[in-house]
Amino acid sequence: MTDIEYLSDSVFVLSLSVPKEFTFVAGQFVIFEFEEDGKKHPKSYSIFNPPSESGVLKSCIKLIDGGYASEKFRKMEAGEKISFRGPMGGLRFDESNKNHFFVCTGTGITPFYSIFKEFVASNPDHQFTLLFGTRLEKDIVLRSEFEQMAAEFDNFTYLITLTREDWSGLRGRVQEHLPESVAETSFYICGLKDMVLDTRQKLLDQDVEPEHIKIERYT
């Protein structure tokens, strides 16, 4: 069964029924395989739901105008089937530190949502900070969900920075809002390549050990 729920004009959550035996670790991704003219066209998507929610596989997907997979998804109807490979990927929750700083833009939020749902409530002695960057206030994905999470859990902090709009919150790129103190902190970065590599380099320059920087690049 395929269910589709739009979060905005161009972002939707795809839900697939999967066998209960399908297991994954929060932070991993799958590869959807689109078939056309006898050929398979693979496209990777992070898993949105936590592993504890079994029997379902969700992804939070941004539609790109003219994009190959995006156009396939746009035409997809509830109930349609889609094949995939996986899970795979090395973006994992790093329990060796008690501070966790998550940096993402756009649908880079997807694997983090899975990690938060899996670990925030069950690890009250760990501190989680989400720094989410986007252009405009209207593009903030899942804002009310995360505001609710921040209100419910003392160990979850939610920061938003906007690049193209004046507002009461943080302004500028995510790279400009990394914490000054990086001691005993694990970092997680997810989104488009330039942001991921630039943020990673900034953290390395601050002497964060490479093994405490987990990344997933979307291109």
Ligand X SMILES: Cc1cc2nc3c(=O)[nH]c(=O)nc-3n(C[C@H](O)[C@H](O)[C@H](O)COP(=O)(O)OP(=O)(O)OC[C@H]3O[C@@H](n4cnc5c(N)ncnc54)[C@H](O)[C@@H]3O)c2cc1C
Instruction: Give yes or no for residue 70 binding ligand X (CB under 6 A).
Output: yes
- Per CB under 6 A, contacts with ligand X among 156-195 are 192
| 156-162, strands of its sheet edge to edge | 170-171, 156-162, 127-134, 99-105, 185-191, 213-217
**Beta carbon of residue 207, minimum distance to ligand X (angstroms, whole number):** 27
**Beta carbon of residue 66, minimum distance to ligand X (angstroms, whole number):** 6
Binding-residue pattern over the window 93 to 132 for ligand X, x denoting contact by CB under 6 A: -------------xx--x----------------------
The residue among 73 and 128 lying less far from ligand X, judged by its C-beta, is 73
Cα–Cα distance measured from residue 146 to residue 46, given in angstroms and rounded to the nearest whole number:
18
Selected binder of ligand X within 55, 67, 90, 124 (CB under 6 A): 67
Sign, Cα dihedral of 109, 112, 118, 119: negative
The residue among 7 and 69 lying less far from ligand X, judged by its C-beta, is 69
Instruction: Give yes or no for residue 68 binding ligand X (CB under 6 A).
Output: yes
Instruction: Give yes or no for residue 15 binding ligand X (CB under 6 A).
Output: no
How many residues interact with ligand X (rule CB under 6 A)?
22
| SS3 of residue 179 by DSSP | coil
Residue type, 55: G
Candidates 40-48, 74-82, 92-100, 172-180 — which segment interacts with ligand X by CB under 6 A? 40-48
List of residues contacting ligand X (CB under 6 A): 29, 43-46, 59-62, 64, 67-70, 89, 106-107, 110, 192, 216, 218-219
